[in-house]
Amino acid sequence: MKKYLFLLLIPMMLLGCKREPANPFFAEFDTPFNLPPFEQIKNEHFVPAFEEAIRQQEEVIAAIVANEEPATFANTIEELEYSSPMLTRVSRVFFNFNSALISPEIQAIAQQVSPMLSAHRDNIMLNAELFARIKAVYDQKDQLGLNPEQMRLLTETYQQFARNGALLPAEKQARFREINQELSLLSLQYSENMLGDVNAFRMVIENEADLAGLPESAIASAAERATAEGHEGKWVFTLHNPSVMPFLYNAHNRELREKMQTAFVNRGNNNNEFDNKKIAAQITNLRIERAQMLGFQNHAHFILEETMAQNIDNVVNFIDQVWAPGLALAKTEAARMQEMIRAAGRTYELQQWDWRYYAEKIRQQHYNLDEEEVRQYFELNSVRDGIFEIVRRLWGLQFVERNDLPKYHPDVQVFEVLEADNSHVGILYMDFHPRESKRGGAWMSSFRGQQVTREGEFIHPVITIVCNFTPPTATTPSLLTYDEMITFFHEFGHALHGLLSNVTFPSLAGTSVPRDFVELPAQIMENWARDPKIKEIYARHYQTGEPIPADLMERIIKAQHFNQGFATVEFLASTYLDLEYHTLTEPFAEDQLMEVTSIINQRTIDRIGLIPQINFRHGSTHFSHIFPGGYSAGYYSYMWSGLLDADAYAAFVETGDLFNQEVAQRFRETILERGGTKDARQLWLDFRGRDPEIIHLLRQRGLAQ
């Protein structure tokens, strides 16, 4: 009887214990090119995967420490370098999701795992026994016969531990951990507040007359958005760039321009649940405390120690040289706009919400250049194919669209990247248009970095570009503004830096270079975007396929330096703002925290003489680069990299051939392939043979002849 009862229970047990789908992170991805199996990844997979990945790395660390053999490069430095394959795999997917596929569930998971990861990192960096082994190898580095890349990894590993508290006494390490925990959560909250505040704003227009001046594409997008949100027959504008910028450049209604500009500059500064004022102050205070614990005067000194610029004096000296001519030009531009206002019979003074509007009027009047006319020749896929062709001519790369590969969102385009001989380079994802589940801006990231395993296998990279370009409408494809087109080239340059990496160690691969060097591969691509001879490759009318007319090209060339005073001042104002925060040596008192952003804003304005008609490109409460991002005390890097990219592009120009194969190959071999295997200045010298010259940057921006 018992036997038969047991047999009867078997199917019941099977029915009652339905097997949950396996967590895809617990094994190597079984997909083409080992891509993340996005359709299998569920939100509930992340936390268990993070927990298991942390456990696995802890086991490796414990084994390194327990090894009774003397510490060597192989049994300590290499073991540590390759200790986190699962954690890297999970982290890359999750944090890409947390930027491009955000949801309340993802945000909740981020709140849970961020302190876990911060604690795990501190457990490694503050492991005294592990650091002792690292130091033992480092102290004998000159006798080990290491190759240059091994020596670089050893030096970087030692310095990373030292800069993360390994040399602190035990009683200070506890506070160091607390600071890192707090910073991880505050940075996350800052980002979530930015997204929440942007998504919360809507300007609903009911009167068609208020649309006067706006291009048809902007009106159509606003109407489609209104319909989708239940405002049939109205128009909805948001703070996403493809919505707010056409409004500020074109809307005749000055009161509505003021409303949009005010909302735009006050993102995260509205005394609501998304307010970032206190968070920015708290982050600043914690960074001061942490830097001084490590023996630095302030956060800027701590950050700049590892950059190409090396110190704050070099940074300030450099940006001052660009600020002076930029401000002078901006004042001339402002006077010109004020004259236009007076000539129209108006008596008001030029304000921030007027600048873009009158700049566009002057551009149309003096250069006969209309953004809407230009956009007809920058259809998204045409620009994409043009970039592919430029890169093919420079380095022989091919891009083959793959509709059979996993995607994390239906809008994403996926390409296999091949060498000229058809050998595999990597996979490139491109995600172009805004959605509420995506943070603003544009960036490059990766789902897998390049490396060579300890067994000698070359691991090919999986790179992603994420943007917020003007979306298509019911009647037109995605037509890019001039600035969006430049942004596309820029992010593609970052992608090339990741795709063409050819190093051994993962922590030195691709974009693992100082912040003031990492923008070089991106910004040099912008030069090909601007060159009139190159535009013929990709600038074709989206309806007729006709190449951009010669007269329009000539007008674009004449307007290349138009409004550069504004562009330079707006950017550098934010650079000075960044430095104002991060050169502080005294934290603010608790009862001052809500006032810090206004104090620092005004102090910066007074220090540099910022004219009131121009605001910071990124203000204190929406400066994602420096608070949650990795550019604290480093926003100058874009201008510094401009110094490099202008000089690097001059190397092509000097040959008379913008596709010069000798220069292109040298740039690939010394910059794009080398990652962080050398000091940044040495990478530059390997390519150019001398230090960069600022005259190329000033000419590029129209600030010198």
Judge if 24-167 and 380-558+637-700 fold alike in CATH terms: no
- Overall average pLDDT of the 601-626 stretch: 97
Higher pLDDT, 369 or 429: 429
Q: Residue 473 is encoded by which pair of tokens?
A: 């409408």
Q: What is the 3-state secondary structure (H, E, C) of 63-99?
A: HHHHCCCCCCHHHHHHHHHCCCHHHHHHHHHHHHHHH
Per domain, the residue ranges of the chain are 24-167, 201-265, 297-369+565-608, 380-558+637-700
- Overall average pLDDT of the 131-135 stretch: 98
pLDDT over threshold 80, residue 13 = no
Give residue-wise pLDDT tens across range 169-180. Answer: 998 999 999 999
Measured between alpha carbons, how far is 591 from 584 in angstroms, rounded to an integer? 18
Residue 589 pLDDT grade (very low, low, confident, very high; cuts 50, 70, 90): very high
Higher pLDDT, 394 or 14: 394
The reported pLDDT for the residue numbered 536 is: 83
pLDDT over threshold 80, residue 223 = yes
Residue 233 pLDDT grade (very low, low, confident, very high; cuts 50, 70, 90): very high
The reported pLDDT for the residue numbered 216 is: 93
Higher pLDDT, 370 or 519: 519
Residue 447 pLDDT grade (very low, low, confident, very high; cuts 50, 70, 90): very high
DSSP code of residue 323: H
The reported pLDDT for the residue numbered 10 is: 38
DSSP code of residue 161: H
Q: Is residue 236 classed as helix, strand or coil in its secondary structure?
A: strand
Higher pLDDT, 58 or 532: 58
The reported pLDDT for the residue numbered 19 is: 44
Cβ atoms 304, 578 nearer than 8 A: no
pLDDT over threshold 70, residue 395 = yes
Higher pLDDT, 581 or 533: 581
Considering the segment(s) 24-167 as one domain, its CATH architecture is: Up-down Bundle (1.20)
Measured between alpha carbons, how far is 448 from 375 in angstroms, rounded to an integer? 34
Give residue-wise pLDDT tens across range 142-169. Answer: 999 999 999 999 999 999 999 999 999 9
Higher pLDDT, 421 or 366: 421
The reported pLDDT for the residue numbered 227 is: 96
- Overall average pLDDT of the 33-61 stretch: 98
The reported pLDDT for the residue numbered 479 is: 96
- Overall average pLDDT of the 569-584 stretch: 98
Beta bridge partners of 540: 378, 547
Q: How many CA atoms lie within 13 A of 643 on its CB side?
A: 19
Q: Residue 516 is encoded by which pair of tokens?
A: 């003031």
The DSSP bridge pattern shows strands 462-466 and 424-431 to be parallel
- Overall average pLDDT of the 489-513 stretch: 98
For residue 450, CA distances in Å to 70, 100, 427, 672 come to: 30, 22, 11, 12
Q: Is residue 231 classed as helix, strand or coil in its secondary structure?
A: coil
- Overall average pLDDT of the 230-259 stretch: 97
The CATH number of 380-558+637-700, from 3.40.50.1980, 1.10.530.10, 1.10.1370.40, 3.20.20.70, is 1.10.1370.40
The reported pLDDT for the residue numbered 9 is: 39
* Distance between first and last Cα of the chain: 101
Residue 557 pLDDT grade (very low, low, confident, very high; cuts 50, 70, 90): confident
Mean per-residue pLDDT over the chain, rounded: 95
Higher pLDDT, 219 or 18: 219
Nearest to 531 by CA among 560, 552, 551: 560
pLDDT over threshold 90, residue 20 = no
- Overall average pLDDT of the 542-565 stretch: 92
The reported pLDDT for the residue numbered 12 is: 37
Torsion angle, CA of 321/359/622/324, rounded to 10 degrees? 10
pLDDT over threshold 90, residue 705 = no
Give residue-wise pLDDT tens across range 314-362. Answer: 999 999 999 999 999 999 999 999 999 999 999 999 999 999 999 999 9
The reported pLDDT for the residue numbered 558 is: 87
The reported pLDDT for the residue numbered 180 is: 95
Q: What is the residue whose two structure tokens read 């005067």? A: 297
DSSP code of residue 540: B
Which residues are marked as active site? 491
pLDDT over threshold 60, residue 3 = no
pLDDT over threshold 80, residue 453 = yes
The reported pLDDT for the residue numbered 412 is: 98
